[in-house]
Amino acid sequence: MTRALITGGAGFIGSHAADSLLAAGYEVRLLDNLSPQVHGDNRQRPSYLAADAELIIGDVTDADAVERALRGADMVLHLASVVGVGQSMYDIEPYVRTNEVGTAVLLQALSKGPVERLVVASSMSIYGEGLYRSADQSVIACEERPIEQLRNGDWELRDKAGSPLEPVPTPETKQPSLSSIYALNKYAQERMCLITGKAYGIPTLALRFFNVFGPRQALSNPYTGVLAIFAARLLNGRRPLVFEDGLQRRDFVHVHDVARACRMALEADHAQDVFNVGSGQSRNILSVAQDLADVMGRPDIEPEITRKYRAGDIRHCFADIGKSRDVLGFIPHIHFKDGLEELAEYLGDQIADDQAERATHELLQRGLVA
């Protein structure tokens, strides 16, 4: 039986990927440090983990723990990462240590004992701004918005004549534009894995996840996905905080689809390449907050539009998933509204420690929100 090691396997995406692999007949081992920011302070095995999944509690930066977890593993799904654009801009050393040094520790071990296949989680954050179409119908990549423009509350990207640009789906061919420490981390992770995989004959794929949502997402982590942050606010009877004007567009993909994409990547014949994993659709953040309030039975709690901006934020980015469809056979199955209803059902008996205002204050103190 094929044994898969999932680093970060007790987390949101990792636990669902474990379920998918177990259902397909794999043996599954998980390596996770049970970070308090994600799992709370008790460091207990999460109740949602499949009983058949072996859990090793250890850190990806610990070479002994990594080597122990790799014993007998045939393939690796590398998900272990500290996530969040905002926090990465002030907790720089922990982000680099876990995301980049941790990946180096894993790859060092793999250089001594290669596996049959390696899949690493990357992120849409590496793109910076997505692609845009100008008035003459040419598709262009844009630089970050000037700080003076943001201070004036002018959120949209414009061409040289001042006309707004139209956002279009972003394919894997777009050159990275790294606007946060987290984006830099994720790009380093995928490049390190692809370079090492090629050198040691390990077929390697990097999956660039867009905005993943669904049950098991950490509700008390103020740097996790935006839907979980909004849910924590709503569970506490508070208005979701929406930056800028709320019309920035993102791609929301359900965690069950992401878990399936992970399994497909582990089983693919393709090697040394990158793939977008998203829904292929875009939604503005304001409408997402309103939709979530509706399915949670709190339509009376309207989002609070802050008209503030955060360092490292981009305006629009959503996925072109044509390559993932054509090469991996990946087609998202779960409609956004259906996914929201499942999330609302999961939230029914959850208690969330809403940390959104504390996180915003942390950024504000450091001049990262204005």
CATH number at residue 236: 3.40.50.720
Q: Assess contact for 242 and 303: CB atoms under 8 A.
A: yes
Contact 272, 334 (CB under 8 A): no
Rounded CA-CA distance 227/32 in Å is 23
Question: What is the spatial distance between Cα 321 and Cα 3, in angstroms, rounded to a whole number?
Answer: 29
> Cα dist. 228→103, 220, 291, 318, 350 in Å?
26, 8, 13, 19, 12
In-domain check, residue 310: yes
Phi, psi of 364 (to 5 degrees): -65, -45
Q: What percent of the chain has pLDDT over 90?
A: 77
Q: Which pLDDT score is estimated for 199?
A: 97
Look at residue 131 in the predicted model and tell me its pLDDT.
97
pLDDT of residue 328: 97
**Ordered DSSP codes for 170-192:** BPTTSPP---SHHHHHHHHHHHH
Q: What is the pLDDT of residue 353?
A: 67
Rounded to two decimals, the pTM is 0.95
Sign of CA dihedral 190, 5, 280, 298: negative
Which of 127, 182, 187, 309 is flagged as catalytic?
A: 182
Cα(57)–Cα(44) distance, integer angstroms:
9
How many angstroms separate the CA atoms of 274 and 41, rounded?
Answer: 35
182 is catalytic: yes
208 torsion bin: left (phi>0), alpha (psi -120 to 50), beta (else): beta
Whether residue 276 lies inside any domain: the answer is yes
> Does 347 reside within a domain?
yes
Q: What is the DSSP string of 275-310?
A: EEES-S--EEHHHHHHHHHHHTT-TTS--EE----B
Q: What is the pLDDT of residue 222?
A: 66
Provide the 10 A C-beta neighbour count for residue 195: 13
Is 148 contained in some domain? Answer: yes
Which of 33, 30, 36, 1 is CA-nearest to residue 17? 30
CA distances from 241 to 222, 226, 244, 337 (A): 11, 10, 10, 21
- For 117, the domain range is 3-365
Domain count, the chain: 1
**Residue 370 is assigned to a structural domain of this protein:** no
pLDDT for res 223: 66
What is the rounded CA–CA span in Å between residue 247 and residue 153? 13
Q: Which residues of the chain have pLDDT under 50?
A: none
Question: Would 273 be classed as within a structural domain?
Answer: yes
Burial class (CB in 10 A: 0-12, 13-18, 19+), 45: middle
Whole-angstrom Cα distance, residue 193 to residue 274? 11
